[in-house]
Amino acid sequence: MDMLVFGHGYSAGYLTPLLVARGWQVTGTTRGDAGRVAAAGATPLIWPGEDQAVREALARADAILVSAAPGPEGDPVLARLAGDLGRARPRWLGYLSTTGVYGDQEGGWVDETSPLAPSTERGRARVAAEAQWQALAAAHDLPLHIFRLAGIYGPGRGPFAKLRAGTARRIIKPGQVFSRIHVEDIAQVLLASITAPAPGAIYNVCDDQPAPPQDIIAAAAAMLDMPAPPEIAFEAADLGPMARSFYADSKRVRNDRIRTELGVSLRHPGYDSALRAILRAEGA
């Protein structure tokens, strides 16, 4: 079986070894970091650049994963390859979106049936991309699956390096709560879906423990036997536009569907397990 990944980045780096172990051939596009893609076990293609090779990989793909974020031109894969996708015949097509499509719910719960009400430009771009992929799938009978990922953490994406460097901050915004997901659990959710396709399905991919961001920092500090950084009020924090936008949404995300429909049992159902796994993986 052949898998083609558009935007072979952090999450795909954990899925590819699982597929390779099952005999898959994986090709991954990258804008320039071919070494990282190859290290995960995939054949790298520079894209845009090696356009003909990408089209050939697309034509023979049994499965396609789109992990490329929308840009100024919208979805980059659709912008350049919509015609080729319409002619492709994969048995599985996955699109990685974000729980940002639900917008701000003032700490309330959402599931896959909740209205899409994005409150940031990134969220609006994802809603538009989801709709475009759904339209393409309907027009060409493509087996589309949408995965709405919560905040991703894992090795190299945890709070430990900042804590050791003294740059971690506990920013307090009353009522603020996020959902998260360890990258290993993203990989196993995708593998479960590839193994048992359900075209048209939408899945929230998150753990069981939404929490305020300052709680994660405090827990990580305790694991390092360090004092937690002092609290800083959100209004007093000197945040750039990108960092500030992460505090625009507050919600709790339900993940029942990955359990009931995909049979997934999370390796890291809460942040304590996830943080300890990150600490072990980082060799600390």
pLDDT tens for the chain, 284 residues long, are: 999 999 999 999 999 999 999 999 999 999 999 999 999 999 999 999 999 999 999 999 999 999 999 988 899 999 999 999 999 999 999 999 999 999 999 999 999 999 999 999 999 999 999 999 999 999 999 999 999 999 999 999 999 999 999 999 999 999 999 999 999 999 999 999 999 999 999 999 999 999 999 999 999 999 999 999 999 999 999 998 888 888 999 999 999 999 999 999 999 999 999 999 999 999 85
Report the C-alpha gap between 51 and 133 in whole angstroms: 21
C-alpha to C-alpha distances, 192 to 97, 119, 203, nearest whole angstrom:
17, 31, 12
Dist CA 173 CA 99 (whole Å): 20
Strand arrangement of the beta sheet that strand 25-30 belongs to: 43-46, 25-30, 2-6, 63-66, 92-98, 144-149, 202-205
Could you identify the residue written with the tokens 């919600």? 251
**What letter does residue 100 receive in the DSSP assignment?**
G
pLDDT value for 284: 56
Q: What crossing angle do the helices spanning 271-281 and 213-223 adopt, rounded to 10°?
A: 50
Distance in angstroms (rounded) separating the CA atoms of residues 140 and 129: 17
Domain ranges of the chain: 2-154+181-206+254-268
pLDDT (0 to 100) of residue 56 = 98
Record the tokens describing residue 68, joined without a space. 């490329």
CATH fold, domain 2-154+181-206+254-268, is Rossmann fold (3.40.50)
Which residues are within 8 A (CB) of 31 and not within 5 positions of it... i.e. 6 or more apart? 46, 47, 48
Measured CA to CA, the distance from residue 213 to residue 237 in angstroms comes to: 14
> What stretch of H or E contains 26?
strand 25-30
